[in-house]
Amino acid sequence: MQTANKRPYLTKSRFKIALECPTKLFYAGEGQTYFDKNEGNDFLSALADGGNQVGELAKYKYHDDPVGQAITVEPLGYAPALSQTAEKLAVAGRVVIAEAALLHGNFFVRVDILIQDPDQKTVDIIEVKSKSVSDETIASRFKNTKGQFDGGWLPYLYDVTFQVAVARRVFPGYKIRAKLLLLDGNQPCAINGLNQFFHIVMDKDAPKDRPRAQVVSPVGLKKSDLGSLDFLREVAVDDIVDELRHKPIDNSAHIPDPYRKNLSVFMDWAGDLQMTGTRIFHGVSKACKSCQFRAPPGSPQRSGLHECWRDAIQQGLLDGGRKLDTRTEPLSIDLWGGVSGGSSIADTVIKHRRAFLADVQESDVQPKSMYKGQGMSPLERRMLQVEAANQQAEKYVIDEDRLKEMDQWEWPLHMIDFETSAPSLPFFNGMQPYQTIAFQFSHHVMSRNEDGHLQIKHANQWISTEAGFFPNIEFVRQLRLALMPEGQLFGTVFRYHNHENTVLRSLRTAIEDAPSEKVPDASELISFIDLITKATGEEAQRMGPFEGKKAMVDLHRLIQESYCSSFAKGSISLKFILPAILKDAPEVADFYRQPGFYGKGLKIESLNFQNEGGHQWLQAQTSDDPYKTLPPIFGPEHGQLNELLFRLASDTEEEAAINQGGLAMTAYNYTQYSGLSKAERQSILDALLRYCELDTLAMVIVVQGLMALRDKSRIV
């Protein structure tokens, strides 16, 4: 074990980290020494999902004028926050405090909402979470069919349990009552523009490299201004807290047995680790695959995950004699984990003691049943990835038989991509928490002329960034017009993965439920959706299998079953497949490297790139990354925000902090503030149009690449 200098107290966030993996406490406490891919993501997360806004709104659930009466403990430092909390608690009678600071021993918590009633001798600890809950989940007490706490809920339940444990020590003689304040997805918002009351801004006092979100509400705002807050659902969880306090900690493989006995034992141990800066290592597990402390090659910061891998090898938990120092050698947990029948591939290779990807054996990951699907089996994909790691080869493999489907496609080919948002805080009257907002689409068309030559055109697009306008119905209407301008669909429509199908099926339900006077063309819109989609999941179980006559072709599925490239590093996401196919099919790359080729009035027509010389997608100075040729989303006055967005969207990990879709969603949510200037709103709109145009162009490039690779294989 290693010991460093004394560190800050064990807070809620550090307690959560300790539950995941106590080793992370050490990495998180070393400042900038260790790489942390979540660092600086607070502001963007707040803008993307609205969680901070829900926290601010929650204050109005318990107080009529939280801003005017200053119920929030504002200081961030320990001493001033504790002092201000004590002052508020000293007020006679019942008191409501937001962000109350509590300290006992090694533990320091900021309680979202604390209500003290000295007459009743009660203290309510209310943890606010921007997470949707159903009647069924509450009735089951957050447990699954096996009677165990659901893994998705357990961190939240432990969070409030930790706070209650601290509060019991701070308020002797009081009854501590635990509550979660959650979002009821079945309850609609009662007013338009609820989000306008809670603007997310950058905290000016936060360090420049660690931007922090701050929610600003207008002075004088009262609870009565916000309509019914029925979608904020309070759930008493005293019984759950009591159960978690006494049961063993069993949700992490990284906690040594002596400290699993119960919550009190674990808290005391984790508090000592935090305060003394002690590094404890207790094995590796499938959870390591998502560790935020994995530094990429070339990073000047230390890599916590690689240090854990080193310890696991030294202790004989993993076998492997390859180099860890450069971080270029793929680890066993990098093996593609898709289509694994519910089992964890990362867990499997660790159980076989494989430290490195190159050492994985086919017998390690052999499925129990034979593959019955089309094209490459998941096992074949995995072993091709292992082979590439062994040979350090730059190669690709295609399944010619699976790609014969391309010969059956009806031309022209339509590539569509949607941008959507699902904010926790509803934007519109009648909208529910996390309801999908479809605000943008792009549409490229591939066709052949009379001579059989390929023609490509950015044919259509649509976007809505107007604050206060609920765009869903108009979105479907405009998409139908784009694909069926003459009332009939000619050709084949393509999507990349499930998002477009899922969105359209959800919008179908909304159209069906809407009053007929509001959607007079409902039958046409529903018929259009049914034509190009298929029912999946619960809908398929409820209504039986259904697939439209011209259901969209999923390029993601085709890639999975027909194309594997060493450049994609086992991934099938478009973010990795696009650069891979450009390297494997250099003739396609040369096609998009030409200047004066793509733009308004040029060989490939564009709706957004109108400069005289067109737009060159592949450039040496941007490492042939098309996305790096695009302008920033936000204007020059938001340089720090642009820099943060670009860094997170450029993350080399497949599970990046924010992907291109997340970037668009974040920008859209920002446009829903009515205070934006006309120029600023137009700048964001223009940038979003270009990003979405590239998303459908990427699908075009993938299809061109597959055509080129098929031609190569026939020549060979």
Instruction: Please provide the DSSP assignment of 140-204 as one string.
Output: TTTB-TTSSB-TTTHHHHHHHHHHHHHHHHHSTTSEEEEEEEEEETTSPPSSS-GGGGSEEEE-T
Structural domain spans, the chain: 40-273, 286-375, 411-555
Task: Give residue 264's pLDDT band: very low, low, confident or very high (50, 70, 90).
Answer: very high
Residue 105's pLDDT is: 95
**pLDDT tens digits, 474-505:** 999 999 999 999 999 999 999 999 999 999 99
Task: Give residue 211's pLDDT band: very low, low, confident or very high (50, 70, 90).
Answer: low
Residue 660's pLDDT is: 47
Beta bridge partners of 421: 437
**pLDDT tens digits, 440-450:** 999 999 999 88
**pLDDT tens digits, 125-149:** 999 999 999 999 999 999 999 999 9
Amino acid letter for position 543: M
Report CA-CA distances (Å) from 26 to 295, 302, 373, 400. Answer: 15, 12, 45, 50
The DSSP code sequence of 71-92 is -B----SHHHHHHHHHHHHTSS
Gap between the Cα atoms of 138 and 160, Å rounded: 16
* Weakest mean pLDDT among 167-171, 219-223, 638-642, 666-670: 638-642
Task: Give residue 241's pLDDT band: very low, low, confident or very high (50, 70, 90).
Answer: very high
Residue 679's pLDDT is: 77
Mean pLDDT of the chain: 89
More confident site: 580 or 203: 580
Which pairing describes strands 396-398 and 213-216: parallel, antiparallel, or unpaired? Answer: unpaired
- Beginning with the edge strand found earlier in the chain, give each strand of the sheet holding 95-104 in spatial order: 95-104, 107-117, 122-133, 175-184, 232-236
Percentage of the chain exceeding pLDDT 70: 90
* Weakest mean pLDDT among 79-88, 94-103, 213-222: 213-222
What does the block give as tokens for 183?
A: 């979002």
Residue 206's pLDDT is: 61
b/e map 535-570, b = 16+ CB within 10 Å:
beeebeeeeeeeebebbbbbbbbbbbbbbbbbbbbb
Given a contact cutoff of 8 angstroms between Cβ atoms, the answer to whether 101 and 82 are in contact is yes
Residue 300's pLDDT is: 95
632 cis-preceded (ω within 30 degrees of 0): no
Mean per-residue pLDDT, 636-651: 50
Report CA-CA distances (Å) from 608 to 268, 364, 615, 649. Answer: 59, 50, 10, 21
Burial class (CB in 10 A: 0-12, 13-18, 19+), 79: exposed
